[in-house]
Amino acid sequence: MVSFLGTLRPTPFSMASFAPCRRQISLHSSPLSLPRTGFFPFKRILQACLQSNAAIGDVGVQLPAHQSEIIFVGTGTSEGIPRVSCLTNPSKKCPVCTKAAEPGNRNKRLNTSMLIRYPGPSGRCNVLIDAGKFFYHSALRWFPAYGIRTLDAVIITHSHADAIGGLDDLRDWTNNVQSHIPIYVAKRDFEVMKKTHYYLVDTSVIIPGAAVSELQFNVINEEPFVVHDLKITPLPVWHGPNYRSLGFRFGNICYISDVSEIPEETYPLLKDCDILIMDALRPDRSSTTHFGLPRALEEVRKIRPKRTLFTGMMHLMDHEKVNEGLMKLMETEGLDVQLSYDGLRVPVTL
Ligand SMILES: [Zn+2]
Ligand SMILES: [Zn+2]
């Protein structure tokens, strides 16, 4: 068992990259200031979570307000782990899904998603990458536990259901916490959303009085953009033949959740990477749309980040067994690579 929080190298916090958080948005900015609520209202919920989920040792430990962090909201495939079909199979027992069904087990994984938290003058900024089909369940599990109340922005990697299927659930925030949520999305994916989420894009079609998510769509291209003073650089990658997905770089952290090929022009954007979060679907081979572990490791050797955390793992990836194998790469090749897991929090310097 590897506990990342326990084995983390301390990351000295630097204010160098933070101008005062002026809620600056490079695109269609709203002057509205969103309320931020501190951690204390969550105390009782947090205690309940700690009692019911002892395996997640670091949940609820509040980091100092000046410390930035990333939280792995989800690290699994589209159908989630455990798979229902594995748990109902009368002829074959799936070892990973059986374990994943146990409370607190790190093989339980929902749709890939990450939260970036960093300090602003009136509280922490919470920027979410993707809100997929299981967003509600992930948020229910981790947001109260980590004291996450507002969503200051959502940035979208691509328009598959496991990345945007939860946009409808943002209504709970815009009805009850804040007036709206800015969404940052590439034009091609916005075009998809006009069909899949037409009532969120054009709210004039809604029956008066019906409450839906109030989303403020900002179309991005493949150039860097700024969200609440955080510079975010898109990392264009292929996610299957002829289908583009975006990774994102913020500070020296690179997040690439859905990739089958990295175009040559994206490699310079991955230079001097401290933490690489990379797609690794299965232990044996790649699929047409995702890196498998061998290919993901090849890319790690090429990119040479200081540390790598894999994400997007299917049910063939046993958390402990795969991590044991990956640990050996530290001795043999000096590679710091591990699987992430839902709820993992890593303090970072942005
Ligand atoms: Zn299974
Ligand atoms: Zn996808």
Residue pLDDT, tens place only, 164-200? 999 999 999 999 999 999 999 999 999 999 999 998 9
**In this predicted model, what pLDDT tens digit does every residue of 204-232 receive, in sequence order?**
888 887 888 899 999 999 999 999 999 99
Give the residue, 336 or 63, on which the prediction is more confident: 336
CA 162 to centroid of ligand 2, rounded, Å: 7
Angle between helices 43-52 and 135-146 (to 10 degrees): 110
Q: Is the dihedral of CA 327, 101, 104, 157 positive or negative?
A: positive
Q: For residue 156, give both structure tokens.
A: 């979208």
CA 198 to centroid of ligand 2, rounded, Å: 20
Mean pLDDT of 84-111: 98
Residue pair 266/237 in contact (Cβ under 8 Å)? The answer is yes
Domain definitions of the chain by residue range: 21-28+38-348
**In this predicted model, what pLDDT tens digit does every residue of 4-46 receive, in sequence order?**
443 333 333 333 333 333 333 333 333 333 333 334 444 443 3
Mean pLDDT of the chain: 86
Q: Give residue for tokens 């339980």.
A: 108
Number of other residues whose CB lies within 10 A of the CB of residue 259:
29
C-alpha–C-alpha distance, residues 109 and 29, integer Å: 34
Mean pLDDT of 232-246: 97
CA 319 to centroid of ligand 2, rounded, Å: 22
* H or E element at residue 91: none
Which DSSP letter does residue 24 get?
-
Q: What is the fold of 21-28+38-348?
A: Metallo-beta-lactamase; Chain A (3.60.15)
CA 221 to centroid of ligand 1, rounded, Å: 38
Strands of 55-112 (E only): list them.
68-74
Mean pLDDT of 290-303: 98
